[in-house]
Amino acid sequence: MVPVELRILGPLELWQDGDRVDIAGVHRQKLLAELAINLGENVPTPRLSEVLWNSNPPATGQQQLQRHVYALRQVLGSAITTEPGGYRLTLPPESVDAHRFATRIQEARSLRNSGLVEEAAAELVAALALWRGPALTGLKGPLRAEAERLDDQRLTAREDWFELQISLGGHADVLAELSEEVEWHPSRERLIGHLMLALYRCGRQADALTAYQRLRNRLLKELGLEPGEQLRTLHTAILRHDPALNPNSSDWSAHVPACLPMDLASFVGRADELRSLTSTAGSPIRLAAITGTAGVGKTALAVRWAHAVRDDFPDGQLYVDLRGHAPTPAMSASDALSVFLRALGTAPDRVPDGADARAALFRSTVDGKRMLVVLDNAASVEQVNLLLPGSPNCFVVVTSRNALTGLGVHHDAIRIGLDVLSDDEAFTLLRHVLGGPRVDAEAAEAGQLLRLCGNLPLAMRIVAANLANRPQGTIADTLRSLAEGDGLDLFSVEGEPRISVRAALDLSYRTVSPDAQRMLALLGASPLADFDCATVAALTGTPDARSALSVLSVLESAHLVHQHQPGRYRMHDLVKLYASEQPVTGLRDAVGDLLEHYLVHTDAAATKLAPNMHREARPTTITAVAADVDVVSWLTTESNNLVAAIGWARDHRHELLATHLIDALRMFFWMNSLTRDWISTGHTGLAMAQELGDARLQSAMHRTLGLAYYYFGDHRRALEHNLDSLAFCEALGDTSGAVAMHTNIAMVCNNSGMLTESISHLEEGIAIAAREGFADKESSAHLALSAARGYQGNLRLAVEEAIRAFDMAQQAGNPSHEAQAQLVHAWALTRMGYLHQAEVLNAAGRHAHHKNGNRGGELMGLIHLTEQRLAAGDLRAAQELIEQVLELGADQSDHVNEINALTAFARVTHASGDVDTALAACHRGVDRAQEIGNLRAGTEALLLLAELQLATGDITEASTTAATALEQVERSGQLLLSGDAHQVAARIMSAAGDAASAHAHLTTALAAHRQSGQRLREAADLILLGDPDAAADVCHEAVDDWAPDVLRHLHATLTP
């Protein structure tokens, strides 16, 4: 007995060392069952979620799944492993009863085909003895499909056993069992055929005919169908007392076609697709089409699945390569039918002429049989139609590079679109083909090679075969060959030119129209990662998107492009490389047309998001017009292409269009915190503007770089570029641009601790804007002034400036500035302790930013809200919010938000009792602030760090940190933080036993907090001074009914 045994042929049971182990809870039972069914396979997390919760997981589903896995590991140990995107159960196959059952069934059929009937019957008895009831008894939901498949295998095995027993003369012995089985399955034709034959051999012809008539009446009433040809033939034979029905007439050595090609031992992955095929085969649908690009593994999948389920089709498996995409002519349906009929035992002289006659004989021959038919490499629906059997017991799998849409229309086929392998599957395949030790020795290089192969199985197998043929060669050598420009030449088998990626794609390329070939060549030359019809129309000069779609559909049908999401297409990397090799005319004009298309749509989006954003006048030569689309959503979707197109435009001498596109993208880069792309394109644009000698465009590029470096956190470069842009504006008399630059310079000064310089620039900018009537620019300046006044310690004035900024933004119709003004207003109210009002404003600002697609602004609002909820004493809400902050900020590169998020995370983690994690996060925030020169954020992080060091009992470090923070506050004029610095210093002095110094610091802190209007911090000072009643009064005035929770939070925070 194996140490661990899983039983799924009946109620789920787990046995270990001969003892049954209880699996508590239906969710854990379902999880174990799904892993057992897919033994040795990586089962994706979404599939496990579907099994456990019927595709409706709870909000905590991921955590619950992890807990269930953990519980199962307590029993199964390392047999359950975490895989990329899922989990895997690894046990010997014989550990699962379903695998032992399948092995015995296979052995029984081999024995039967060898004429060893009694031995085959004994093997079937042993196989059926493994069953303890219906598979997975009691487990509901998606598992039922697999359970029903297993139950059907059991019933098929029972049918096989009845057939063997009858052939051995045991018709009388099985009659009772057979009759009982028919009662349970009254429409099962094969079962009823066995019953008819057993009854007839028992001398009960009338009962045999009655059994047939009972089935016929049922089928006619329920389905309007006659019984199958095989059963009708048996009925006629019984009526005629055909001698062939006598016991000694059975011939169990009769030929059963087994035409499947060899399975690949190195086959990996495709668990979802295999599961889909199995599910379809168990449904009323009798046809599945596997489609995909050249070399993606369609045939390998079909053959692997066919071998896995061949026992479900005991009457045989047929296979034919239709050569739909091959150098030689495609096989005709008539020739394919001849192959099938010969495989089914039809004598050559009985194969009729003509495709229709052959199709009729084929369908009659397989009628009533359970057969699997694999039609590989089909060219069209027409080639397939005549090869489809009419029997509902047969199942057909078709593979093709073409979409074969007509199969779904005429035959209810399910289509399985095959994509490339996942990274994990691709690595496993490479290890299988090339050898694990060789791949593991160059794991990093192997990863690069797989990326170059695009995880396309054909490409990987070719490269691996070439490497295997050169034992002394390395993966690094192959990478160097690729880098030297060998291109697709690397993806061909040496000495076998027809076995190559290029040859495979040639066959697809030649089948499409000249317009489609030109479109593919232009797409191959372009840097577009993916594309829609409108983009393709602009690139190819097609009149409109509808016309482009008709050509694009030709490429999609040939699987040279694929629709990876509704309305958007892309090419596999190797298809793109192949396309780039194809000749194309008019490339420079195509680049210009694409840039115009991108520029007018980006401008439309920028106008909607920030109608008064300072932009340069666009070239008058542009003729493209923005389509009536959601331009904001369009901008998000096309962002990667826009960045790539800028470099492409530079390479093809379209500097003017490219520089204007960079100018138009400024708002989008800011909203999505894409500072790296922002900086990269900004420098590209500046070089082009300097080459053009255009002062206005140079000013615009300095402006975009100034903002980009500000959000990236490089304040020195930000200030340099902003000052350069301001100088250009003043020289050109560009007063609108000058106001924008004064505001941008002030923002840098704000974070650098230069509040006096910041306010000076803002006041100058506001004066110019008021004189010139630039309401929107004035709104932006007042917004920056609100923050500056706040950090100066004048929160009431900060609120006034935020309100003024909001009113002006509303008047100017600038929703982005409105949202930002609401968030700054909410921040100031939070510092003042008015949490109710702050939360309302924060929600309004975040909602507006989310609606406008401003992810950076939305992240800032979430960080502020986390601080608000923590101040309100709602730790659970703060914990949930900080998770959202981390998720939203994961792919952003706004270092201002990054430091604020680290500080907020440290506060929440500290409040949750995890001081070590809080310390680590706070240290990262301090270090990051010092790296980028953000004195404002760095000072706040230092104050929190001192608190955390105090919480760990490290008074010396805490004292040093607090002294540094206090010095920065006094040096920079950040009076808003003065009270916080003195309060932290007081707590450290108190812990050190210096009561006098502690009291002095507290007195200073209280005065500073009262002067700046920070009510909740004032309450904290009062608690530390020993006046909790006064603290309670202050809290009630500020937060009303939230006061008890706020006070509890303050006491918990201030307690050593």
pLDDT at 490 > cutoff 70: no
Asked if residue 671 lies in contact with residue 857, where contact means CB atoms within 8 angstroms, the answer is yes
* Position 947 confidence tier, pLDDT thresholds 50, 70, 90: very high
Higher model confidence: residue 764 or residue 258?
A: 764
For residue 223, what pLDDT is reported?
Answer: 82
Kindly report the backbone phi and psi dihedral angles of residue 258, in degrees, each rounded to the nearest multiple of 5, phi listed first.
-135, 80
Distance CA(53)–CA(546), nearest Å, equals 42
For residue 482, what pLDDT is reported?
Answer: 67
The second-level CATH assignment, the architecture, of 734-813 is: Alpha Horseshoe (1.25)
For residue 411, what pLDDT is reported?
Answer: 77
pLDDT at 129 > cutoff 90: yes
Asked if residue 28 lies in contact with residue 69, where contact means CB atoms within 8 angstroms, the answer is no
| Residue 398: DSSP 8-state | E
Six-digit token pair at 651?
Answer: 């390479």
HEC string of 208-225 equals: HHHHHHHHHHHHHHHCCC
Tell whether domain 271-417 is in CATH 3.30.70.520. no
- Taking all residues of the chain, what is their mean pLDDT, rounded to a whole number? 87
For residue 1042, what pLDDT is reported?
Answer: 87
Report the length, in residues, of the chain. Answer: 1056
For residue 495, what pLDDT is reported?
Answer: 56
Burial class (CB in 10 A: 0-12, 13-18, 19+), 495: exposed
For residue 256, what pLDDT is reported?
Answer: 75
Reduced to 3 states (helix: H, G, I; strand: E, B; else coil), residue 485 is coil
Q: Would residue 375 be called left, alpha or beta, if left means φ above 0 and alpha means ψ between -120 and 50 degrees?
A: beta
Average confidence (pLDDT) over 328-352: 81
Give one DSSP letter per residue of 7-70, joined into a string. Answer: E-SSS-EEEETTEEE---SHHHHHHHHHHHHTTTSEEEHHHHHHHHHTT---TTHHHHHHHHHH
What is the domain class of 117-131+143-249 according to CATH?
mainly alpha
pLDDT at 181 > cutoff 60: yes
Domain boundaries, the chain: 4-98, 117-131+143-249, 271-417, 423-506, 512-585, 734-813
* Position 921 confidence tier, pLDDT thresholds 50, 70, 90: very high
786-822 pLDDT, tens per residue? 999 999 999 999 999 999 999 999 988 888 889 999 9
Reduced to 3 states (helix: H, G, I; strand: E, B; else coil), residue 85 is coil
* Position 254 confidence tier, pLDDT thresholds 50, 70, 90: very low
pLDDT at 591 > cutoff 70: yes
For residue 109, what pLDDT is reported?
Answer: 79
Distance CA(217)–CA(11), nearest Å, equals 36
Q: Are strands 317-321 and 372-378 parallel, antiparallel or unpaired?
A: parallel
pLDDT at 487 > cutoff 70: no
For residue 222, what pLDDT is reported?
Answer: 84
164-176 pLDDT, tens per residue? 888 888 888 899 9
| Residue for token pair 């050898």 | 435
For residue 251, what pLDDT is reported?
Answer: 42
39-95 pLDDT, tens per residue? 888 898 889 999 999 878 887 788 888 888 888 988 888 889 888 788 999 998 889
**Max avg pLDDT among 553-567, 576-590, 812-826, 1042-1056:** 812-826
CATH number of 4-98: 1.10.10.10
HEC string of 281-337 equals: HCCCCCEEEEECCCCCCHHHHHHHHHHHHHHHCCCCEEEEECCCCCCCCCCCHHHHH
Average confidence (pLDDT) over 592-597: 92
* Position 485 confidence tier, pLDDT thresholds 50, 70, 90: low
Cα-Cα-Cα-Cα dihedral sign, residues 424, 430, 433, 437: negative
For residue 315, what pLDDT is reported?
Answer: 84
pLDDT at 219 > cutoff 80: yes
* Position 692 confidence tier, pLDDT thresholds 50, 70, 90: very high
Say what the alpha-carbon torsion angle 636, 641, 642, 647 is, to the nearest 10 degrees: 160
- 4-98 and 512-585 share one fold: yes
For residue 393, what pLDDT is reported?
Answer: 85
Strand partners, 122: none
pLDDT at 252 > cutoff 50: no
What residue type is assigned to position 756 of the chain?
Answer: T
**HSE, side-chain direction, 13 A CA sphere, residue 301:** 32
Asked if residue 355 lies in contact with residue 332, where contact means CB atoms within 8 angstroms, the answer is yes
- Those residues whose C-beta lies under 8 Å from the C-beta of residue 240, and which sit 6 or more positions away, are none
- CB count within 10 Å of CB 876 equals 9
Higher model confidence: residue 1056 or residue 723?
A: 723
Dmax (CA) of the chain: 118
Tell whether domain 512-585 is in CATH 1.10.3720.10. no
Q: Are strands 42-44 and 86-89 parallel, antiparallel or unpaired?
A: antiparallel
HEC string of 644-684 equals: HHHHHHHHCCCHHHHHHHHHHCHHHHHHCCCHHHHHHHHHH
Among the residue ranges 213-227, 455-469, 586-600, 737-751, the one predicted with the least confidence is: 455-469
Among the residue ranges 50-64, 239-253, 460-474, 678-692, the one predicted with the least confidence is: 239-253
For residue 449, what pLDDT is reported?
Answer: 79
* Position 893 confidence tier, pLDDT thresholds 50, 70, 90: low
pLDDT at 387 > cutoff 70: yes
* Position 1032 confidence tier, pLDDT thresholds 50, 70, 90: very high
For residue 830, what pLDDT is reported?
Answer: 93
132-149 pLDDT, tens per residue? 999 999 898 889 888 998
For residue 638, what pLDDT is reported?
Answer: 87
Among the residue ranges 26-35, 438-447, 543-552, the one predicted with the least confidence is: 438-447
Distance CA(748)–CA(709), nearest Å, equals 10
pLDDT at 253 > cutoff 50: no
Query: What is the Cα 805 distance to its own chain's centre?
Result: 40
- Those residues whose C-beta lies under 8 Å from the C-beta of residue 268, and which sit 6 or more positions away, are 421, 425, 428, 429, 432
pLDDT at 422 > cutoff 90: no
pLDDT at 498 > cutoff 80: no
Reduced to 3 states (helix: H, G, I; strand: E, B; else coil), residue 493 is strand
Higher model confidence: residue 877 or residue 625?
A: 877
296-313 pLDDT, tens per residue? 888 889 999 999 888 888
pLDDT at 988 > cutoff 90: yes
Strand partners, 87: 43, 82
For residue 448, what pLDDT is reported?
Answer: 79
Higher model confidence: residue 17 or residue 594?
A: 594
